[in-house]
Amino acid sequence: MADEQFLRWEWIARNLGDPIGVRLLQHLQLSFLSILLGLLIALPAGVAAARWRRLYPPLLTGVNVLYAIPSIALFILLLPYTGLSPATAIIPLALYTLAILVPNVADGLNQVPSHVRQAAVAMGFGPLRRLLRVELPIAVPVVIAGLRVAAVATISMVSVAGLVGLGGLGQLVLSAGFQRQFPTPVVVGIALSVALALLVDGALVLLQRALTPWKRGRGPARASRTSRPFRRSGRGLSKRAPAEAPEPEGAG
């Protein structure tokens, strides 16, 4: 495939504003709102699952079954009710983030050491204040680890919404590229989607650093707390926090 044939720069230059910029903005809007809605549902759900342990297994099964429904099918099924509005894309995508976010919020809260909780109680913190001022801040790294996976997955999945005409870079790929047998918009769509995902991922890392000032300036070995306190250096120096390591159950 000749370079000229596969990627036509003059097409990109001519269409920077209309299809490219417009679709990129739609993509950003759809993914941001989906992730935000997902987080708004996952936080109380995760808190409940951490508080009432018996709720955890059925909740986990529920969000995992949701995750197995193909996104195209969900978009199409919502179309008769919500039409070609952003909600048609946002509702399914927000539901998908739950499979990653709910277990991470619950696990993050469950990892709060009991002596910390007791100290908060001893200082006179009520349940709500303890949750907001002590437990959730400690859970931030685990929650953000999940948020990073959910964000990257959502941004790449918004493209599917383009197949049913809901906008975003998927629509650029489909109507400007695929249907006209013209590769340039397809490449542009993929590249912008990947760039957006990696940018948001990086922004979340920065957000985590801003939200956990007590972790700065300490050796990363400190991050792999509680479970293996006496890990040898070398192997133990990996940067990961425990919940960051394994792929969440329904990731991607």
Partner 1 sequence: MTGTVLATELAGSLGVVDWFSRTEQWTGADGIPVRFLEHVRYSGIALALSAALAVPLGLLTGHTGRGGFLAISLANVARALPTIGVLMLVVLATGIGVTPVMVALVALAVPPILVNTYEGVRGVDPQFNDAARGMGMRGWQVLLRVELPIALPLILLGLRTAAIQVVATATVAAYVGVGGLGRFIVDGQARQQIAMVLGGALLVVLLALLVTLVFALLGRLAVAPALRGRATAVR
For binding to partner 1 (CB under 8 A), which residues are involved? Answer: 1, 64-65, 67-74, 76-77, 80-81, 103, 107, 149, 152-153, 155-160, 162-164, 169-170, 173-174, 177-178, 181, 183, 186-187, 189-190, 193-194, 197-198, 201, 227-228, 231-232, 234-236, 238, 240, 242-243, 245-252
Return d(Cα 125, Cα 142) in angstroms, integer.
23
130 or 162: whose CB is closer to partner 1?
Answer: 162
163 or 207: whose CB is closer to partner 1?
Answer: 163
Return d(Cα 162, Cα 84) in angstroms, integer.
11
- Cβ at position 121, least distance to partner 1 in Å: 26
- Cβ at position 183, least distance to partner 1 in Å: 5
Q: If we measure between CA atoms, which residue out of 223, 200, 224, 192 comes closest to residue 147?
A: 200
- Cβ at position 133, least distance to partner 1 in Å: 27
Query: 153 with 251: CB under 8 angstroms?
Result: yes
Return d(Cα 39, Cα 51) in angstroms, integer.
18
Q: If we measure between CA atoms, which residue out of 154, 151, 175 comes closest to residue 20?
A: 175
Greatest Cα-to-Cα distance within the chain, rounded to the nearest angstrom: 71
Please state the separation of Cα 78 from the chain's center in Å: 22
Query: CA 157, 77, 159 angle in degrees (round to 5)?
Result: 15
114 or 179: whose CB is closer to partner 1?
Answer: 179
- Cβ at position 232, least distance to partner 1 in Å: 5
Return d(Cα 21, Cα 28) in angstroms, integer.
11
- Cβ at position 99, least distance to partner 1 in Å: 9
- Cβ at position 120, least distance to partner 1 in Å: 25
129 or 222: whose CB is closer to partner 1?
Answer: 222
45 or 74: whose CB is closer to partner 1?
Answer: 74
60 or 134: whose CB is closer to partner 1?
Answer: 60
